[in-house]
Homo-oligomer: A and B are copies of this chain.
């Protein structure tokens, strides 16, 4: 994502972003992503094509920006009563979302229209924020909690690596092994 799209001021600029993002989502559902063009999106959003080019650079950067918004978690991770249960449930859900057809498309879009890596970093920050929330809750219960960077290395990185480079069955047994490794415990199976 370019510097253009990282600024999110309110007012007109925020409205433009919202209407352009919505136009992308609507048109993608209606005509398919291969038929998307900047003029088509601009017309639906009620802005000029030059507004889109000025703000996002090109179609790929716009799609990257929209993809990252779609990868934003809906809310805080669910509370299952223990660090291990919270991490296990989060890892299963993360793997399911990222390994879905839509998730894979969003991850690719986020990476590919992103010459300065801002959108990729946002994806990673979403995961880090969720893991931090799980860790803060666990610490509140008095549990020992690994650092977020370690959780990213041991739990998140293998999932993303396999989704992008090495198609694999991301089963619950697999995500449980990753979580157990992160916590220095035996896997359940």
Residues of A within 8 A of B (CB): 108, 111-112, 117, 120-121, 123-124, 152-154, 156-158, 160-162, 164-167, 178, 181
Closest residue of B by beta carbon distance from A167: B117
A88: min CB distance to chain B, Å: 16
Closest residue of B by beta carbon distance from A60: B112
A141: min CB distance to chain B, Å: 26
Q: Which residues of B contact A123 (CB under 8 A)?
A: 165
Docked complex Cα distance between A156 and B153 (Å): 10
Q: Which residues of B contact A154 (CB under 8 A)?
A: 154, 158, 181
The complex is assembled from copies of this chain, and their number is: 2
Q: Which residues of B contact A112 (CB under 8 A)?
A: 108, 111-112
Docked complex Cα distance between A121 and B160 (Å): 13
Complex partner residue of A111 from B111, B157, B158, CB under 8 angstroms: B111
Docked complex Cα distance between A78 and B121 (Å): 34
Docked complex Cα distance between A123 and B117 (Å): 21
Whether B111 contacts A166 by the Cβ 8 Å rule is: no
Given contacts A111-B112, A154-B181, A160-B164, 10 further A-B contacts (CB under 8 A): A112-B112, A117-B165, A120-B165, A121-B167, A124-B165, A154-B154, A157-B158, A157-B160, A160-B165, A164-B164
| Those 10 A-B pairs whose CB atoms lie nearest each other, nearest first | A157-B161, A153-B158, A124-B165, A157-B157, A124-B166, A157-B158, A120-B165, A112-B112, A160-B161, A123-B165
A97: min CB distance to chain B, Å: 15
A56: min CB distance to chain B, Å: 18
Q: Which residues of B contact A178 (CB under 8 A)?
A: 153
